């Protein structure tokens, strides 16, 4: 998309948005922010867009995505480097973001990144979105805890396979390794959330020794665990599915496709 300060629509605008009154939307936001400092807070936003959720238990759900810019990790296979390795974006007021979400007429908002839990202002954004009656999913690596409640915490713990090369990126390799797996923080995020899912990005069957250990430490049910192949092409995902799906069937874990790639290809705004 050309500018992160404008909403990119990946689908035809929902019928539910027709006839929406801007005055009604503004009234919703004004009521939610009156007497607070929310309306002057801003977040650095990489992009916003309307699309279908392509991963996890809400796959196929029309959603408004707000992608924050900045991350405390550096996964070597990151598919959104413009929000992590080379973070770009604009500072947008929180009340503007809430208004944009409400104006879509959709019920679901996804806060993603980068790492959306990195800025403390995410707490206010989440609160105001839920006050406006929206279902909020937060897609996070689970390395940072905030005093907030979301409807779905979609936690993607970063396995050893995510660590950047120590020769090419010595500083980030060390920092990433130190930060990537704080089990107690993940437990706290799970406890605060109304619902949760745990998504792992897998590159080989060798990853499952670490996955099984993390699942035991988090004490989550197998059907809350989603296994997703690393890859940004349909061919790569299909190749991985041939050995990942049988393993998921045997363990009770859930196979997680990346439907946004099948629907739209690997591109921004989807």
Residue 18 has pLDDT above 80, yes or no: no
Reply yes or no: is the peptide bond before residue 93 cis, omega within 30 of 0.
no
Is 2 exposed, middle or buried, given 0-12, 13-18 or 19+ CB atoms closer than 10 A?
Answer: exposed
List pLDDT tens digits, range 84-111: 999 999 999 999 999 999 999 999 999 9
Fill in the DSSP letter of residue 266: S
Domain ranges of the chain: 7-196
Count of beta carbons in the 10 Å neighbourhood of residue 13? 12
Residue 248 has pLDDT above 50, yes or no: yes
Looking at residue 220, what is its pLDDT? 98
Annotated binding-site positions for substrate: 52-54, 67, 112
Question: Does the CA dihedral 128-129-132-136 come out positive or negative?
Answer: negative
Rg (CA), the chain: 18
Mean pLDDT of 174-203: 97
Q: State the pLDDT confidence band at 259, using cuts at 50, 70 and 90.
A: confident
Q: State the pLDDT confidence band at 262, using cuts at 50, 70 and 90.
A: confident
Annotated binding-site positions for Mg(2+): 80
Residue 211 has pLDDT above 80, yes or no: yes
Residue 42 has pLDDT above 50, yes or no: yes
Annotated binding-site positions for S-adenosyl-L-methionine: 77-79, 114, 156-158
Class of domain 7-196: alpha beta
Global confidence as pTM: 0.83
Annotated binding-site positions for [4Fe-4S] cluster: 71, 75, 78
Closest CA to 186 of 218, 212, 225: 218
Looking at residue 270, what is its pLDDT? 65
Looking at residue 40, what is its pLDDT? 63
Mean pLDDT of 174-186: 98
Q: State the pLDDT confidence band at 232, using cuts at 50, 70 and 90.
A: confident
Give the β-pairing of 90-93 and 42-52: antiparallel
Annotated binding-site positions: 52-54, 67, 71, 75, 77-80, 112, 114, 156-158
């Amino acid at each position: 998309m050309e500018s992160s300060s404008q909403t990119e629509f990946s689908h035809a605008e929902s019928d539910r948005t027709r006839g929406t009154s801007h005055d009604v939307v503004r009234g919703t936001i004004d009521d939610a922010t009156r007497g607070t400092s929310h309306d002057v807070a801003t977040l650095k936003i990489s992009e916003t867009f309307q699309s279908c959720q392509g991963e996890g238990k809400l796959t196929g759900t029309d959603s408004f995505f707000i992608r924050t810019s900045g991350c405390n990790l550096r996964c070597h296979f990151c598919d959104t480097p413009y929000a992590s390795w080379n973070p770009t974006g604009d500072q947008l007021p929180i009340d503007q973001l809430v208004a944009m979400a409400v104006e879509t007429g959709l019920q679901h908002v996804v806060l993603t990144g980068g790492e959306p839990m990195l800025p403390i202002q995410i707490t206010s954004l989440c609160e105001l979105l839920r006050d406006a009656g929206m279902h909020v999913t937060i897609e996070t690596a689970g390395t940072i805890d905030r005093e907030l409640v979301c409807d779905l915490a979609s936690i993607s713990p970063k396995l050893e396979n995510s660590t950047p090369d120590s020769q090419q990126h010595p500083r980030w390799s060390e920092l990433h390794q130190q930060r990537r797996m704080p089990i107690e923080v993940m437990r706290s995020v799970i406890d605060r959330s109304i619902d949760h899912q745990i998504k792992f990005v897998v590159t080989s069957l060798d990853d499952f020794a670490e996955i099984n250990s993390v699942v035991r430490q988090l004490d989550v049910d197998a059907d809350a665990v989603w296994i997703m192949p690393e890859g940004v092409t349909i061919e790569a995902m299909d190749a991985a599915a041939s050995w990942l799906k049988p393993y998921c069937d045997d363990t009770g874990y859930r196979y997680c496709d990346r439907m946004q790639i099948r629907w739209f290809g690997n591109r921004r705004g989807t």
